[in-house]
Each structure stands twice: as C-alpha cells, then as structure tokens.
Structure 1
Amino acid sequence: VVFGKASGFAALIQVSSLDGSNGFTIYAPDTEDFSGYRLSSGDVNGDGYADVIVGAYRGDGLSNSVDDVDAGEAYVVFGKASGFAALIQVSSLDGSNGFTIYAPDTEDFSGYRLSSGDVNGDGYADVIVGAYRGDGLSNSVDDVDAGEAYVVF
C-alpha cells in the first residue's frame, strides 16, 4: 500500500522503502496462499478511513492444515490517520486493527474475487467475498463447485 500525497512521486518506488509513514506491506502467513491476488477497499468500520481488503484464495483456512487446503481467506486491514508499521502480518490482526475471514471447506478458493459496498444500508462498507469453487448449500457431490459468495456486515 502506497499512501497518496499532494506533492509528486518518484518515478520508481521500491517497496523496501515503505516505512509506515509513506505506506506499508501486508504479509500473509504461508507460502502459496496467493495473498494479494485480489484487492478491494471500503470503510468497513465507519471511521472515515478506507480499509484494505486482501484476498488469499489459496489460504489453508482456520486450521491451516491439509484438511482446509486452498479453502481461501480474506484479510481486512483497518485504515487510520497514522501509526502504521512498515510490515503488517495478517497473523497480528486482532479485531482492533483488522480481521480475517476464513472459508469453511477445502478448495473453495474463497477470496478469488472481492468487493465492498453498503449492502444493508447502515452506512458501513460490507465485505463481499467470492468462493468460485464453493460446493453450495448441501456441500455435497451434487453441488460440486457450484460457487458461493459471503457478505460480511
């Protein structure tokens, strides 16, 4: 994430130069999670700052085990006026600085698509997460890869 500013930008920005005052990097915990494949933003907590929504469609779910392989995850990092670390690890999200959304089943690929919008009209951006290989309501072979979408508000 590179912060906007009124003055000009350098022609090249190295992410290693992000120090929390000019931007930050969000790190997922595991190899091959494909974190950042999809991104969105919206003011989820209503504080007036855009929050960053990151999809990791190959994330291995809450158990982080073979039982949840490629279930998918989405991370919401809350925006604020200042005080960002240069590096934000999603394992540090605790509800006050953001949160993680875990998909329920293996190979759902949740987080492959992301969006946000005020779905319920309460003035807050809601998080919309697509799981294109979710197995539907019955979660059975009858609905293999039917697809699912989750709306979190």
Structure 2
Amino acid sequence: FGKASGWTATQSLSSLDGSNGLIIYGRGEEYDHFASGCSSGDFNGDGIADILLGSPGADGEFNSADKTGEAYVVFGKASGWTATQSLSSLDGSNGLIIYGRGEEYDHFASGCSSGDFNGDGIADILLGSPGADGEFNSADKTGEAYVVFGKASGW
C-alpha cells in the first residue's frame, strides 16, 4: 500500500479498494474500542508485515467477561486484499485472535507494540493490560504486560 511518490495532499478513506489500502472492521460490539492500540511486525516470519490491533473493551472469548479485552493479528500478504477485512474470518492461516485472561475490566490490549524480544528474527507481540490485578490478583488495577513470541508456523 505504501508508495515512494504520487501521494496527494489528502486521502479519502472512502476510496480504499484493496489495491490502495483497506478498512478492517471490529467485531461490531458496542464499547469494544477496537483499534485503540495498533502496531505492526512480521509475526509469522514470512517477510511481510502483519497488523496488530487491540480491542480493550471487548468481552473476551464467548463474551465471558466485561471489558476483558482482545487483540487481533491480521497476517500481511503481497496481494489479494479486498477493500474490507472482517475479523470473523481469522482462522490461523490469515490471522488470529488473542484473548485476555478473562478478568473483567482488565482492558487487555489497550497498548500494543512489537519487537524481536527473543532474538530469533521474528517479531514478537507486546500487549498491555492496565486494568489487570497483578501477580496472584493481589492488588486492584495494578496492570500487567504480556509478550507473545512470534513464530514461523503453527498459529
């Protein structure tokens, strides 16, 4: 989607058609705050950047806990993008969902970043959970951070 030249002074998002960019929609649930945290990195080691999106207001797997939070990884690809991407289509081959620990109001994935934290040449995922209650749930809203190591296969 990036280009070395030919940018105009403005870009209308309504013109995104898959060849010049795309729109990724959240799961459509109120107060999910989808894309509050965003980052990118090559999490699957294929040489193409992937997209990391946080949804700290999401209610977790099976809507089990209010505002526990979720993160989504959409694997990049060289071509074949459509104008829109639905998270409901993520199946492990094109991306994945990372669920928080299932505690209410953890707001998992409020902050999202990436880096190669274990030195294997594949980007890893860093996710913040500012509402989490710390080790052994010992103190209210002390916060936690999680690192998920990237891997070349097996997502």
TM over 0.5: yes
Q: In the TM superposition, what whole-angstrom CA distance separates every residue of 1:85-142 from its partner, at most 9, and x where no partner exists? A: 2111111111111111111111100111111011111110001100011112212xx3
Corresponding position: 1:109 with 2:69: no
Distance 1:91 1:152 in 2: 21
Q: Which of 102, 116, 121 is the aligned partner of 2:119?
A: 121
Q: CA separation in 2, counterparts of 1:130 and 1:50?
A: 21
Structure 2: how far apart are the matches of 1:92 and 1:106? 26
CA distance in 2 between partners of 1:103 and 1:74 (Å)? 8
Give me the whole-angstrom Cα distance separating, in 2, the residues matched to 1:62 and 1:116.
23
For 1:109 and 1:90, how far apart are their aligned partners in 2? Answer: 19
Q: Which runs of 4+ in 1 moved over 6 A?
A: none
The answer as to 2:96 corresponding to 1:99 is yes
2:141 is matched with which residue: 123, 142, 145?
Answer: 145
SS at match of 1:4: coil
**2: distance between equivalents of 1:151 and 1:10?**
38
- The letter for the 1-side match of 2:147 is V
Under a length normalisation based on structure 2, what TM-score does the superposition of the two structures give? 0.90
| Secondary structure, counterpart of 1:138 in structure 2 | helix
Q: C-alpha offsets along residues 57-111 of structure 1, whole Å, 9 cap, x if unaligned?
A: 11111122xx411101111111111111211111111111111111111110011
* RMSD across aligned positions (CA): 1.2
- Aligned equivalents of 1:100, 1:60: Cα separation in 2: 13
Unaligned runs of 5+ in 2: 150-155
Aligned counterpart, 1:22: 20
Identical pairs, percent: 52
Give the TM-score normalised by structure 1: 0.91
Indicate the structure with greater strand content: 1
Counterpart Cα distance in 2 of 1:34 and 1:106: 15
